[in-house]
Protein backbone atom coordinates (compact mmCIF):
# COMPACT_ATOMS: atom_id res chain seq x y z
CA UNK A 1 0.00 0.00 0.00
CA UNK A 2 1.43 3.37 -0.99
CA UNK A 3 2.16 5.78 1.86
CA UNK A 4 1.36 9.25 0.46
CA UNK A 5 2.36 10.94 3.72
CA UNK A 6 5.84 9.47 3.34
CA UNK A 7 6.00 10.78 -0.25
CA UNK A 8 5.06 14.28 0.95
CA UNK A 9 7.66 14.18 3.73
CA UNK A 10 10.40 12.95 1.40
CA UNK A 11 10.05 15.84 -1.03
CA UNK A 12 8.94 18.69 1.25
CA UNK A 13 11.46 21.20 2.65
CA UNK A 14 12.67 20.18 6.10
CA UNK A 15 12.72 22.60 9.03
CA UNK A 16 16.27 23.72 8.27
CA UNK A 17 15.42 24.55 4.65
CA UNK A 18 12.17 26.25 5.61
CA UNK A 19 13.95 28.48 8.12
CA UNK A 20 16.72 29.22 5.61
CA UNK A 21 14.22 30.23 2.92
CA UNK A 22 12.35 32.47 5.35
CA UNK A 23 15.56 34.14 6.50
CA UNK A 24 16.72 34.73 2.91
CA UNK A 25 13.30 36.01 1.80
CA UNK A 26 13.03 38.36 4.78
CA UNK A 27 16.56 39.62 4.21
CA UNK A 28 15.96 40.36 0.53
CA UNK A 29 12.63 42.04 1.25
CA UNK A 30 14.20 44.24 3.92
CA UNK A 31 17.01 45.23 1.54
CA UNK A 32 14.47 46.13 -1.14
CA UNK A 33 12.46 48.20 1.34
CA UNK A 34 15.58 50.02 2.46
CA UNK A 35 16.70 50.71 -1.11
CA UNK A 36 13.27 52.07 -2.00
CA UNK A 37 13.30 54.28 1.11
CA UNK A 38 16.75 55.70 0.38
CA UNK A 39 15.97 56.28 -3.32
CA UNK A 40 12.47 57.59 -2.63
CA UNK A 41 10.88 54.90 -4.78
CA UNK A 42 7.18 54.33 -4.14
CA UNK A 43 7.10 50.54 -4.25
CA UNK A 44 6.66 47.59 -1.89
CA UNK A 45 8.20 44.08 -2.13
CA UNK A 46 6.01 41.01 -1.70
CA UNK A 47 6.92 37.33 -1.47
CA UNK A 48 4.71 35.34 -3.86
CA UNK A 49 4.77 31.84 -5.35
CA UNK A 50 4.76 28.48 -3.57
CA UNK A 51 7.32 29.56 -0.95
CA UNK A 52 4.87 32.19 0.28
CA UNK A 53 1.96 29.80 0.83
CA UNK A 54 3.45 26.49 2.00
CA UNK A 55 3.08 24.52 -1.22
CA UNK A 56 6.75 24.42 -2.22
CA UNK A 57 8.88 21.34 -2.75
CA UNK A 58 12.54 20.99 -1.86
CA UNK A 59 14.79 23.57 -3.53
CA UNK A 60 11.89 25.72 -4.72
CA UNK A 61 12.46 29.15 -6.24
CA UNK A 62 11.96 32.36 -4.31
CA UNK A 63 9.78 34.87 -6.16
CA UNK A 64 9.68 38.45 -4.92
CA UNK A 65 7.47 40.94 -6.72
CA UNK A 66 8.09 44.67 -6.35
CA UNK A 67 4.71 46.36 -6.57
CA UNK A 68 4.87 49.89 -7.92
CA UNK A 69 2.23 52.57 -7.66
CA UNK A 70 0.35 53.12 -10.92
CA UNK A 71 1.66 56.69 -11.07
CA UNK A 72 4.83 55.25 -12.64
CA UNK A 73 4.98 54.61 -16.37
CA UNK A 74 5.57 51.06 -17.59
CA UNK A 75 9.14 51.76 -18.81
CA UNK A 76 9.95 53.61 -15.58
CA UNK A 77 8.60 50.69 -13.56
CA UNK A 78 10.71 48.24 -15.58
CA UNK A 79 13.91 50.27 -15.26
CA UNK A 80 13.48 50.82 -11.54
CA UNK A 81 12.66 47.14 -11.10
CA UNK A 82 15.94 46.16 -12.75
CA UNK A 83 17.83 48.74 -10.70
CA UNK A 84 16.40 47.38 -7.45
CA UNK A 85 16.93 43.77 -8.53
CA UNK A 86 20.59 44.33 -9.29
CA UNK A 87 21.05 46.18 -6.00
CA UNK A 88 20.13 43.10 -3.96
CA UNK A 89 21.22 40.33 -6.37
CA UNK A 90 24.87 41.10 -7.00
CA UNK A 91 25.27 38.28 -9.51
CA UNK A 92 21.83 38.72 -11.01
CA UNK A 93 21.16 38.45 -14.73
CA UNK A 94 18.37 40.12 -16.62
CA UNK A 95 15.70 37.90 -18.09
CA UNK A 96 12.62 38.75 -20.06
CA UNK A 97 8.98 37.69 -19.90
CA UNK A 98 6.38 40.35 -20.66
CA UNK A 99 8.96 42.75 -19.26
CA UNK A 100 12.47 42.37 -17.79
CA UNK A 101 13.30 41.05 -14.33
CA UNK A 102 16.43 40.03 -12.41
CA UNK A 103 17.27 36.41 -11.61
CA UNK A 104 20.10 34.82 -9.65
CA UNK A 105 21.27 31.47 -8.27
CA UNK A 106 23.85 33.02 -5.95
CA UNK A 107 22.09 31.81 -2.77
CA UNK A 108 21.95 28.15 -3.73
CA UNK A 109 18.47 28.43 -5.19
CA UNK A 110 16.85 30.47 -7.94
CA UNK A 111 15.67 33.91 -6.85
CA UNK A 112 13.59 36.12 -9.15
CA UNK A 113 12.85 39.77 -8.46
CA UNK A 114 10.02 40.92 -10.69
CA UNK A 115 8.49 44.41 -10.98
CA UNK A 116 4.73 44.90 -11.36
CA UNK A 117 1.98 47.38 -10.58
CA UNK A 118 -0.25 47.37 -7.52
CA UNK A 119 -3.81 46.44 -8.50
CA UNK A 120 -6.92 45.57 -6.52
CA UNK A 121 -8.58 43.55 -9.28
CA UNK A 122 -7.67 42.17 -12.72
CA UNK A 123 -9.48 44.94 -14.57
CA UNK A 124 -6.86 47.40 -13.33
CA UNK A 125 -3.89 45.45 -14.67
CA UNK A 126 -1.42 47.12 -17.00
CA UNK A 127 0.75 44.02 -17.51
CA UNK A 128 0.01 40.30 -17.20
CA UNK A 129 2.24 39.84 -14.14
CA UNK A 130 0.22 42.39 -12.17
CA UNK A 131 -2.23 39.54 -11.45
CA UNK A 132 0.32 37.35 -9.68
CA UNK A 133 -0.11 38.90 -6.21
CA UNK A 134 -3.87 38.42 -6.64
CA UNK A 135 -3.21 34.73 -7.34
CA UNK A 136 -1.27 34.44 -4.07
CA UNK A 137 -4.03 36.15 -2.11
CA UNK A 138 -6.69 33.87 -3.59
CA UNK A 139 -4.77 30.65 -2.90
CA UNK A 140 -3.84 31.67 0.64
CA UNK A 141 -7.54 32.24 1.31
CA UNK A 142 -8.80 29.06 -0.37
CA UNK A 143 -6.24 26.31 0.30
CA UNK A 144 -6.55 24.48 3.61
CA UNK A 145 -3.49 23.16 5.45
CA UNK A 146 -4.28 19.62 4.29
CA UNK A 147 -4.74 20.75 0.71
CA UNK A 148 -1.26 22.28 0.68
CA UNK A 149 0.10 18.74 0.99
CA UNK A 150 -2.31 17.59 -1.72
CA UNK A 151 -0.82 20.26 -4.00
CA UNK A 152 2.64 18.85 -3.35
CA UNK A 153 1.48 15.36 -4.34
CA UNK A 154 -0.02 16.61 -7.59
CA UNK A 155 3.12 18.61 -8.40
CA UNK A 156 5.31 15.57 -7.75
CA UNK A 157 3.05 13.40 -9.90
CA UNK A 158 3.18 15.88 -12.78
CA UNK A 159 6.93 16.43 -12.42
CA UNK A 160 7.60 12.70 -12.71
CA UNK A 161 5.54 12.61 -15.91
CA UNK A 162 7.38 15.63 -17.36
CA UNK A 163 4.25 17.79 -17.59
CA UNK A 164 4.83 20.27 -14.77
CA UNK A 165 5.60 23.82 -15.83
CA UNK A 166 3.94 26.23 -18.24
CA UNK A 167 7.18 27.08 -20.07
CA UNK A 168 7.07 26.57 -23.84
CA UNK A 169 9.56 23.71 -23.58
CA UNK A 170 7.00 21.81 -21.48
CA UNK A 171 3.53 23.21 -22.26
CA UNK A 172 2.39 21.68 -19.02
CA UNK A 173 0.61 22.61 -15.81
CA UNK A 174 1.90 25.68 -13.97
CA UNK A 175 2.12 25.81 -10.20
CA UNK A 176 -0.90 28.12 -10.11
CA UNK A 177 -2.99 25.76 -12.25
CA UNK A 178 -1.94 22.79 -10.13
CA UNK A 179 -3.12 24.60 -7.00
CA UNK A 180 -6.39 25.59 -8.66
CA UNK A 181 -7.00 21.92 -9.46
CA UNK A 182 -6.71 21.07 -5.76
CA UNK A 183 -8.97 23.97 -4.79
CA UNK A 184 -11.55 22.60 -7.25
CA UNK A 185 -11.25 18.84 -6.59
CA UNK A 186 -10.21 18.94 -2.94
CA UNK A 187 -7.41 16.36 -3.02
CA UNK A 188 -4.80 14.70 -5.20
CA UNK A 189 -6.74 11.44 -5.49
CA UNK A 190 -9.98 13.22 -6.36
CA UNK A 191 -8.24 15.26 -9.05
CA UNK A 192 -6.49 12.25 -10.58
CA UNK A 193 -9.64 10.11 -10.44
CA UNK A 194 -11.74 12.75 -12.19
CA UNK A 195 -9.19 13.74 -14.82
CA UNK A 196 -8.33 10.13 -15.73
CA UNK A 197 -11.96 9.49 -16.68
CA UNK A 198 -12.43 12.67 -18.72
CA UNK A 199 -13.59 12.45 -22.32
CA UNK A 200 -12.16 15.47 -24.09
CA UNK A 201 -11.36 18.80 -22.48
CA UNK A 202 -10.66 19.55 -18.84
CA UNK A 203 -13.03 22.41 -18.02
CA UNK A 204 -13.40 24.24 -14.72
CA UNK A 205 -15.58 27.34 -14.51
CA UNK A 206 -19.03 28.64 -15.23
CA UNK A 207 -20.30 27.76 -18.75
CA UNK A 208 -20.81 31.41 -19.60
CA UNK A 209 -17.11 32.09 -18.92
CA UNK A 210 -15.66 28.89 -20.41
CA UNK A 211 -17.59 28.75 -23.69
CA UNK A 212 -15.39 31.31 -25.47
CA UNK A 213 -12.21 29.21 -25.04
CA UNK A 214 -11.21 26.21 -27.16
CA UNK A 215 -8.05 24.98 -25.41
CA UNK A 216 -7.60 21.37 -24.20
CA UNK A 217 -7.59 22.73 -20.64
CA UNK A 218 -9.96 25.55 -19.68
CA UNK A 219 -9.69 26.78 -16.10
CA UNK A 220 -11.20 30.17 -15.49
CA UNK A 221 -8.84 32.28 -13.39
CA UNK A 222 -10.82 33.10 -10.22
CA UNK A 223 -9.08 36.49 -10.09
CA UNK A 224 -9.88 37.29 -13.73
CA UNK A 225 -13.00 35.81 -15.34
CA UNK A 226 -11.73 36.80 -18.80
CA UNK A 227 -8.62 34.61 -18.55
CA UNK A 228 -8.07 30.91 -19.13
CA UNK A 229 -5.41 29.97 -16.58
CA UNK A 230 -4.91 26.63 -18.36
CA UNK A 231 -4.27 28.08 -21.83
CA UNK A 232 -0.61 26.96 -21.87
CA UNK A 233 -1.42 23.27 -21.27
CA UNK A 234 -1.08 21.23 -24.46
CA UNK A 235 -3.26 18.32 -25.52
CA UNK A 236 -0.22 16.07 -25.08
CA UNK A 237 0.28 17.17 -21.46
CA UNK A 238 -3.40 16.64 -20.64
CA UNK A 239 -3.36 13.23 -22.34
CA UNK A 240 -0.27 12.15 -20.38
CA UNK A 241 -2.00 13.18 -17.16
CA UNK A 242 -5.08 11.15 -18.11
CA UNK A 243 -3.04 8.08 -18.99
CA UNK A 244 -0.71 8.22 -15.99
CA UNK A 245 -3.77 8.72 -13.77
CA UNK A 246 -5.38 5.56 -15.16
CA UNK A 247 -2.27 3.44 -14.64
CA UNK A 248 -1.60 4.88 -11.17
CA UNK A 249 -5.15 4.18 -9.97
CA UNK A 250 -4.94 0.65 -11.32
CA UNK A 251 -1.75 -0.05 -9.36
CA UNK A 252 -0.70 2.81 -7.03
CA UNK A 253 3.03 3.14 -6.48
CA UNK A 254 5.40 5.79 -5.17
CA UNK A 255 7.35 5.38 -8.42
CA UNK A 256 4.84 7.85 -9.91
CA UNK A 257 6.22 10.69 -7.77
CA UNK A 258 9.48 12.57 -8.11
CA UNK A 259 11.18 15.85 -8.86
CA UNK A 260 11.84 14.96 -12.50
CA UNK A 261 11.28 12.11 -14.98
CA UNK A 262 13.81 9.31 -14.76
CA UNK A 263 15.50 8.66 -18.08
CA UNK A 264 15.52 4.92 -18.58
CA UNK A 265 16.51 4.50 -22.24
CA UNK A 266 15.22 1.64 -24.34
CA UNK A 267 17.76 -0.66 -25.94
CA UNK A 268 19.77 1.04 -28.68
CA UNK A 269 19.23 -1.37 -31.56
CA UNK A 270 19.25 -1.27 -35.36
CA UNK A 271 15.69 -0.26 -36.22
CA UNK A 272 16.17 -0.70 -39.95
CA UNK A 273 15.79 3.06 -40.42
CA UNK A 274 18.12 5.97 -41.08
CA UNK A 275 18.81 8.81 -38.66
CA UNK A 276 19.91 12.32 -39.52
CA UNK A 277 21.12 14.50 -36.65
CA UNK A 278 21.60 18.24 -37.11
CA UNK A 279 23.85 19.90 -34.52
CA UNK A 280 24.52 23.59 -33.98
CA UNK A 281 25.34 26.03 -31.19
CA UNK A 282 22.46 27.48 -29.25
CA UNK A 283 21.73 31.15 -30.04
CA UNK A 284 21.92 33.36 -26.94
CA UNK A 285 18.18 33.65 -26.35
CA UNK A 286 15.84 32.56 -23.55
CA UNK A 287 14.05 29.21 -23.43
CA UNK A 288 10.65 30.68 -24.29
CA UNK A 289 12.07 31.82 -27.64
CA UNK A 290 14.44 29.01 -28.60
CA UNK A 291 12.11 26.08 -27.84
CA UNK A 292 9.30 27.25 -30.16
CA UNK A 293 11.90 27.89 -32.88
CA UNK A 294 13.36 24.39 -32.57
CA UNK A 295 9.84 22.97 -32.71
CA UNK A 296 9.12 25.12 -35.78
CA UNK A 297 12.35 23.89 -37.37
CA UNK A 298 11.30 20.26 -36.91
CA UNK A 299 7.81 20.92 -38.27
CA UNK A 300 9.23 22.73 -41.30
CA UNK A 301 11.75 19.98 -42.07
CA UNK A 302 9.12 17.25 -41.71
CA UNK A 303 6.70 19.03 -44.04
CA UNK A 304 9.35 19.91 -46.65
CA UNK A 305 10.80 16.38 -46.59
CA UNK A 306 7.36 14.97 -47.36
CA UNK A 307 7.18 17.18 -50.44
CA UNK A 308 10.25 15.30 -51.70
CA UNK A 309 8.50 12.00 -50.79
CA UNK A 310 10.74 11.29 -47.77
CA UNK A 311 8.76 10.07 -44.77
CA UNK A 312 10.05 11.18 -41.38
CA UNK A 313 8.56 8.73 -38.90
CA UNK A 314 10.03 10.19 -35.68
CA UNK A 315 11.70 13.37 -34.46
CA UNK A 316 13.42 14.43 -31.26
CA UNK A 317 15.54 17.31 -30.03
CA UNK A 318 17.83 18.38 -27.21
CA UNK A 319 18.48 21.98 -26.20
CA UNK A 320 21.59 22.77 -24.21
CA UNK A 321 24.71 24.72 -25.16
CA UNK A 322 24.44 22.71 -28.36
CA UNK A 323 21.10 22.08 -30.06
CA UNK A 324 20.60 18.63 -31.54
CA UNK A 325 17.71 17.78 -33.86
CA UNK A 326 17.06 14.15 -34.78
CA UNK A 327 15.09 12.97 -37.81
CA UNK A 328 14.30 9.27 -38.30
CA UNK A 329 13.45 8.27 -41.88
CA UNK A 330 11.98 5.06 -43.21
CA UNK A 331 14.62 5.30 -45.90
CA UNK A 332 16.93 8.03 -47.14
CA UNK A 333 17.25 6.67 -50.69
CA UNK A 334 14.22 6.58 -53.00
CA UNK A 335 13.82 5.04 -56.47
CA UNK A 336 15.05 7.12 -59.39
CA UNK A 337 11.49 7.18 -60.70
CA UNK A 338 8.40 8.76 -59.16
CA UNK A 339 4.77 8.34 -60.15
CA UNK A 340 3.10 11.66 -60.84
CA UNK A 341 -0.70 11.84 -60.92
CA UNK A 342 -2.38 14.17 -63.38
CA UNK A 343 -6.00 15.32 -63.72
CA UNK A 344 -9.00 13.15 -64.69
CA UNK A 345 -9.20 12.70 -68.47
CA UNK A 346 -12.47 14.73 -68.55
CA UNK A 347 -10.68 17.73 -67.08
CA UNK A 348 -9.87 20.81 -69.15
CA UNK A 349 -6.40 20.64 -67.56
CA UNK A 350 -5.39 17.45 -69.40
CA UNK A 351 -3.83 19.22 -72.40
CA UNK A 352 -1.80 21.67 -70.29
CA UNK A 353 -0.64 18.69 -68.19
CA UNK A 354 0.49 16.79 -71.30
CA UNK A 355 2.27 19.86 -72.63
CA UNK A 356 4.07 20.39 -69.35
CA UNK A 357 5.25 16.78 -69.10
CA UNK A 358 6.58 16.12 -72.59
CA UNK A 359 10.33 16.46 -71.98
CA UNK A 360 13.23 14.21 -71.08
CA UNK A 361 12.20 14.07 -67.43
CA UNK A 362 9.39 11.64 -68.39
CA UNK A 363 10.59 8.04 -68.12
CA UNK A 364 7.26 6.43 -68.99
CA UNK A 365 3.84 7.65 -70.02
CA UNK A 366 1.64 9.50 -70.18
CA UNK A 367 -0.92 6.76 -69.65
CA UNK A 368 -4.44 6.43 -68.31
CA UNK A 369 -5.33 4.46 -65.20
CA UNK A 370 -8.74 4.49 -63.50
CA UNK A 371 -9.87 7.54 -65.46
CA UNK A 372 -6.86 9.69 -64.54
CA UNK A 373 -3.69 10.50 -66.46
CA UNK A 374 -0.26 9.59 -65.07
CA UNK A 375 3.38 10.05 -65.94
CA UNK A 376 6.49 8.54 -64.42
CA UNK A 377 9.19 11.14 -63.87
CA UNK A 378 12.90 11.02 -63.24
CA UNK A 379 13.47 11.61 -59.52
CA UNK A 380 16.54 13.85 -59.35
CA UNK A 381 16.22 14.38 -55.59
CA UNK A 382 16.10 10.77 -54.46
CA UNK A 383 18.91 10.93 -51.89
CA UNK A 384 17.86 12.58 -48.63
CA UNK A 385 21.20 14.23 -47.99
CA UNK A 386 20.72 16.26 -51.18
CA UNK A 387 17.07 17.01 -50.40
CA UNK A 388 17.88 18.11 -46.84
CA UNK A 389 20.59 20.49 -47.99
CA UNK A 390 18.21 21.93 -50.58
CA UNK A 391 15.52 22.38 -47.93
CA UNK A 392 17.90 24.08 -45.53
CA UNK A 393 18.96 26.59 -48.18
CA UNK A 394 15.51 28.13 -48.43
CA UNK A 395 13.45 27.03 -45.39
CA UNK A 396 12.49 29.53 -42.71
CA UNK A 397 13.54 27.77 -39.50
CA UNK A 398 12.96 30.71 -37.19
CA UNK A 399 14.59 34.12 -36.86
CA UNK A 400 17.48 33.12 -34.62
CA UNK A 401 18.12 29.63 -36.02
CA UNK A 402 18.27 31.05 -39.56
CA UNK A 403 21.29 33.10 -38.46
CA UNK A 404 23.32 30.00 -37.54
CA UNK A 405 22.38 27.79 -40.52
CA UNK A 406 25.94 27.97 -41.86
CA UNK A 407 27.14 26.28 -38.65
CA UNK A 408 24.90 23.23 -39.02
CA UNK A 409 26.65 19.86 -38.75
CA UNK A 410 24.61 17.14 -40.45
CA UNK A 411 25.39 13.54 -39.46
CA UNK A 412 23.84 10.37 -40.91
CA UNK A 413 23.52 7.14 -38.95
CA UNK A 414 22.42 3.65 -39.93
CA UNK A 415 21.87 1.10 -37.22
CA UNK A 416 22.48 2.24 -33.66
CA UNK A 417 22.30 5.84 -32.50
CA UNK A 418 25.43 7.71 -31.35
CA UNK A 419 26.04 8.64 -27.73
CA UNK A 420 24.39 12.06 -27.76
CA UNK A 421 21.87 13.88 -25.56
CA UNK A 422 19.25 13.78 -28.32
CA UNK A 423 19.72 10.00 -28.59
CA UNK A 424 19.03 9.60 -24.88
CA UNK A 425 15.90 11.72 -25.21
CA UNK A 426 14.77 9.63 -28.19
CA UNK A 427 15.35 6.29 -26.49
CA UNK A 428 13.84 7.50 -23.17
CA UNK A 429 10.46 8.47 -24.59
CA UNK A 430 7.95 6.79 -22.32
CA UNK A 431 4.55 7.75 -20.88
CA UNK A 432 3.62 7.16 -18.14
CA UNK A 433 7.07 7.45 -16.64
* CA-closest candidate to residue 23, choices 124, 100, 107, 83: 107
Domain boundaries, the chain: 13-130, 143-256, 274-333+382-427, 337-378
Q: pLDDT, tens digit, for every residue of 13-54?
A: 999 999 999 999 999 999 999 999 999 999 999 999 999 999
Say yes or no to pLDDT of 425 above 90: yes
List pLDDT tens digits, range 102-157.
Answer: 999 999 999 999 999 999 998 898 888 999 999 999 999 999 999 999 999 999 99
Distance CA 407, CA 414 (A): 23
Tens digits of per-residue pLDDT, 184-211? Answer: 999 999 999 999 999 999 999 999 999 9
pLDDT for the residue numbered 126: 87
274-333+382-427 adopts what CATH topology? Answer: Alpha-Beta Plaits (3.30.70)
Average pLDDT, the chain: 94
Q: Do domains 13-130 and 274-333+382-427 have the same CATH topology?
A: no
What are 51-77's pLDDT values in tens digits?
999 999 999 999 999 999 999 999 999
Query: pLDDT confidence of 322, banded at 50, 70, 90?
Result: very high
Q: Residue 108 burial by CB count (10 A; 0-12/13-18/19+): exposed, middle or buried?
A: exposed
Average pLDDT for residues 144-172, to the nearest whole number? 95
Per-residue model confidence (pLDDT) at position 127: 86
pLDDT score, position 211: 93
Which CATH number describes the domain made up of 143-256? Answer: 1.10.1410.30
Q: What is the mean pLDDT of residues 275-289?
A: 92
Residue 98, pLDDT above cutoff 80: no
Specify the CATH superfamily of domain 13-130. Beta Polymerase, domain 2 (3.30.460.10)
What pLDDT, on the 0 to 100 scale, is given for residue 7? 96
The pLDDT score that the predictor gives to residue 289 is 87
Quick one: average pLDDT of 263-276?
94
Give the percent of the chain with pLDDT over 70: 100
User: Over the stretch 406-416, which tens digit does the pLDDT of each residue have?
Assistant: 999 999 999 89
How many CB atoms are closer than 10 A to CB 400? 14
Under the banding of pLDDT at 50, 70 and 90, the label for residue 96 is confident
For every residue of the chain, which 3-state class applies, written as one string? CCCHHHHHHHHCCCHHHHHHHHHHHHHHHHHHHHHHHHCCCCEEEEEECHHHHCCCCCCCCEEEEEEECCCCCHHHHHHHHHHHHHHHCCCCEEEECCCEEEEECCCCCCEEEEEEECCCCHHHCCCHHHHHHHHHHHHHHHCCHHHHHHHHHHHHHHHHHCCECCCCCCCCECHHHHHHHHHHHCCHHHHHHHHHCCCCCEEECCHHHHCCCCCCEEEEECCEEEEECCCCCCHHHHHHHHHHHHHHHHCCCHHHCCCCCCCCCCCCCCCCCEEEEEEEECCCCCHHHHHHHHHHHHHHHHHHHHHCCCCEEEEEEEECCEEEEEEEECCCECCCEEEEEEEECCCCCHHHHHHHCCCCCEEEEEEEECCEEEEEEECCCCEHHHHHHHHHHHCCCCHHHHCCHHHCEEEEEECCCCCCHHHHHHHCCCCCC
- Distance in angstroms (rounded) separating the CA atoms of residues 85 and 362: 68
Q: Is the peptide bond before 432 cis (omega within 30 degrees of 0)?
A: yes
Q: What is the pLDDT of residue 44?
A: 96
Amino acid sequence: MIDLKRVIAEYSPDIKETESVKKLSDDLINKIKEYCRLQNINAEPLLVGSSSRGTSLRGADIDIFIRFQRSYGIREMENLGLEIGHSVLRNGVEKYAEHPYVSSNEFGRKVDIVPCFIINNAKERLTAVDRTPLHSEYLKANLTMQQKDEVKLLKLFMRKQGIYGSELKTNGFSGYVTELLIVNYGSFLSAITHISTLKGQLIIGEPEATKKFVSPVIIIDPTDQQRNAGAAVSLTALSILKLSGKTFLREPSDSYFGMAPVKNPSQNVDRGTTFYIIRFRRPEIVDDIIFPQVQKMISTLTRASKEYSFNIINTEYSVDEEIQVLLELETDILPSVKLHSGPPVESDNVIPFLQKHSGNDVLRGPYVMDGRIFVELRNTMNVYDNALNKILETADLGKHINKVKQEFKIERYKGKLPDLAVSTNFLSKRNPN
